[in-house]
Amino acid sequence: MTADRFVRPATSGDEQAITDVQLAAWTAAGLLGDDVIALLDPQAMREAWSAAITAPPGPDYRVLVACEGPRVVGFASVVPQPETSSGLVLAFEVAPTEQRSGHGSRLLAAVVDHLRATGATEVSTWIVHTDEARTRFFSGAGLAPDGPQRHLTTSPAEDVPTLTESHWSATI
């Protein structure tokens, strides 16, 4: 890791960059479709990220940001689940222009460090079946599908496909 590439806890003021990264990554991934992306409310997303950063929804919940110098280029949100000695990665994105630069690996390492500090022995996340890049990344990091699946509807329109996600996990 070089001094100008690092991961830190998100702070108030990071919500705009987090929202920008999320929208860019979701658009580039193409999983939701342009029609669904167009329905998203960036202001509401910024407000949600601001609340997650300044008033976390639970103890040890964290939003972490990957930085290239002063720029936020990626983020992860993670919540420990003490009842199962695990932690769930709720969100994990790197700006499309910054992918394959080590930011994802640094983010995941910081997530695992945080989870270990809370006593977790496992990390998990949900991955859309058709998200090949995310599948490669998390598989390369040692996570694998562990059985559960869920189906997400992204729009009330009948012609919008349902996304199928699989639960992935690894011992840490």
The percentage of the chain sitting over the pLDDT mark of 90, rounded to a whole number, equals 84
User: Which of these, 44, 97, 49, 101, lies nearest to 76 by C-alpha position?
Assistant: 49
What's the half-sphere exposure (Cβ side, CA atoms, 13 Å) at 119? 6
Output the pTM of the full model: 0.93
Provide the pLDDT for residue 36: 85
Predicted confidence band of residue 158 (pLDDT cuts 50, 70, 90): low
Q: Return the pLDDT at 61.
A: 97
Reduced 3-state DSSP string for 14-75: CHHHHHHHHHHHHHHHCCCCHHHHHHCCHHHHHHHHHHHHHCCCCCCCEEEEEEECCEEEEE
Does the pLDDT value for residue 53 go beyond 80?
A: yes
Q: Which among 126, 19, 119, 143 has a CA at the least distance from the CA of 59? A: 119
Chain segment 138-147, per-residue pLDDT in tens: 999 999 999 9
Q: How many domains does the chain have?
A: 1
Q: Which domain holds residue 73?
A: 5-171
* Residue 1 confidence (pLDDT) above 70: no
CATH code where residue 60 lies? 3.40.630.30
- Interval 95-116 mean pLDDT: 97
* CA dist., res. 30 & res. 21, Å (int): 14
| 32 closest CA partner among 166, 162, 168, 167 | 162
- Strand-strand pairing, 122-128 and 86-94: parallel
74 contacts 93 by C-beta, under 8 angstroms: yes
Which positions ≥6 away from 47 have C-beta within 8 Å? 15
Q: How confident is the model at residue 160 (pLDDT cuts 50, 70, 90)?
A: low
pLDDT score, position 153: 81
